[in-house]
């Protein structure tokens, strides 16, 4: 290759390895890894450590692949929203076709490898999760209804069920409850983000609740979903995955989360604007800690159970 061709190609923002990795949404992947790991370790059956490691890795790859397919489909929206403008496709580093190729290849790879490493049911559940996130949420719900993240939130709630399925080969009430916890947590988490992201979703034409029904209705919805979430989260303490550690964690966190939701509900836009959405931002930050600590408590119960310290 001549120097001239190198220089002309350098004008294009050719992707680095990190740009392809960024297609997999590493931050979302970390949540997938953690919740899937908790689901796997909380299950009553033991799994060989290497099989567990490989299974979690394939679940992470599957989750990342669905992120790449989401970026492929939503490239037009990502280019408009400030929060997503630096993603590899709108930044001009990776083409849409490349993102599709990466996403579809890794999806098939992850599902087949998970089925081979653990069991067919876990592989099939991962395939369904990818289908749900890409087709049901990204292609269908996201641009159609303000309930997009309520129903679409199911996609992010499946990983602990997949982790549980790796160990048990099936579904049980405990794994469904772990699913429900993440499912109920997603709406207040995202709506709090929407409140302080201002016009991003409106500019992109995404019918989020605050765009279609206004901010007052969004504040009310955050409170209602937080109450429902608290019932599920505290109720889980009395099931097979709960125990005193989980109950204490759930009582404290749900108390704080409810107080935050009430505070958001009572505020009007003028007050929120005046302090740059301080309460909404702190509620969003707390929501991240909320999910991490709930699953951390489930993990603590499972880890301490063999020593007679976890569970009831």
Partner 1 sequence: MSFRDDHELHKRRLGRNVGLALVLAGFIAIVFGLTVVKVTRGDYEPENAKVAN
Cα→Cα distances 47→44, 54, 87, 179, Å: 10, 11, 37, 21
219, two tokens: 């504040």
Using the minimum distance from each CB to partner 1, give the nearer residue, 49 or 308: 49
Which range, of 48-56, 134-142, 214-222, 295-303, touches partner 1 by CB under 8 A?
A: 48-56
Provide the minimum distance between the beta carbon of 14 and partner 1 in the complex, in angstroms, as a whole number.
6
CA atoms within 13 A on the CB side of 150: 15
Binding flag, residue 4, partner 1 (CB under 8 A): no
105 makes contact with partner 1 (CB under 8 A): no
Binding letters toward partner 1, positions 113-142, x by CB under 8 A: ---xx-------------------------
Give the torsion sign (CA, 149, 143, 92, 193).
negative
C-alpha–C-alpha distance, residues 91 and 79, integer Å: 8
Structural contact between residues 222 and 259, judged by C-beta atoms closer than 8 angstroms: no
Closest distance between partner 1 and the C-beta of residue 124, in Å? 16
> Does residue 305 touch partner 1 according to CB under 8 A?
no
Q: Does 111 sit near partner 1 (CB under 8 A)?
A: no
- Nearest one of 77, 136, 68 to 97, comparing CA atoms: 68
Q: Give the tokens for residue 94.
A: 């990776």
For residue 104, state whether it binds partner 1 (rule: CB under 8 A): no
17 touches partner 1 (CB under 8 A)? yes
Binding residues for partner 1 (CB under 8 A): 3, 6, 9-10, 14-18, 20-21, 48, 50-51, 54, 57, 116-117
């Amino acid at each position: 290759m001549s120097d001239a061709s190198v220089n002309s190609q350098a004008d294009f923002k050719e992707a680095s390895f990190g740009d392809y990795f960024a297609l997999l949404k590493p931050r979302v992947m970390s949540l997938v890894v953690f919740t899937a790991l908790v689901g796997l370790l909380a299950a009553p059956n033991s799994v060989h450590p290497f099989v567990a490691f490989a299974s979690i890795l394939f679940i992470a790859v599957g989750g990342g692949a669905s992120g790449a397919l989401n970026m492929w489909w939503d490239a037009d929206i990502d280019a408009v929203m400030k929060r997503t403008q630096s993603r590899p496709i709108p930044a001009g580093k990776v083409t849409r076709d490349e993102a599709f190729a990466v996403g579809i290849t890794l999806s098939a790879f992850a599902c087949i490898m998970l089925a081979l490493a653990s069991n067919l049911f876990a592989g099939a559940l991962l395939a369904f999760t990818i289908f749900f996130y890409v087709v049901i949420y990204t292609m269908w719900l996201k641009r159609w209804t303000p309930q997009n993240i309520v129903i679409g939130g199911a996609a992010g709630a499946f990983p602990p069920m997949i982790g549980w399925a790796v160990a048990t080969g099936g579904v049980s009430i405990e794994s469904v409850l772990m699913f429900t916890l993440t499912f109920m947590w997603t709406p207040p988490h995202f709506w709090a983000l929407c409140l302080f992201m201002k016009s991003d979703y409106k500019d992109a034409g995404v019918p989020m609740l605050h765009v279609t029904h206004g901010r007052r209705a969004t504040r009310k919805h955050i409170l209602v979903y937080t109450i429902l979430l608290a019932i599920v989260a505290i109720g889980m303490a009395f099931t097979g995955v709960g125990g005193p550690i989980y109950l204490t964690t759930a009582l404290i966190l749900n108390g704080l989360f409810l107080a935050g939701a009430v505070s958001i509900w009572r505020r009007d836009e003028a007050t929120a604007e005046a302090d740059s959405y301080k309460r909404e931002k702190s509620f969003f930050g707390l929501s991240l800690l909320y999910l991490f600590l709930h699953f951390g408590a489930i993990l603590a119960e499972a880890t301490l159970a063999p020593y007679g310290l976890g569970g009831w």
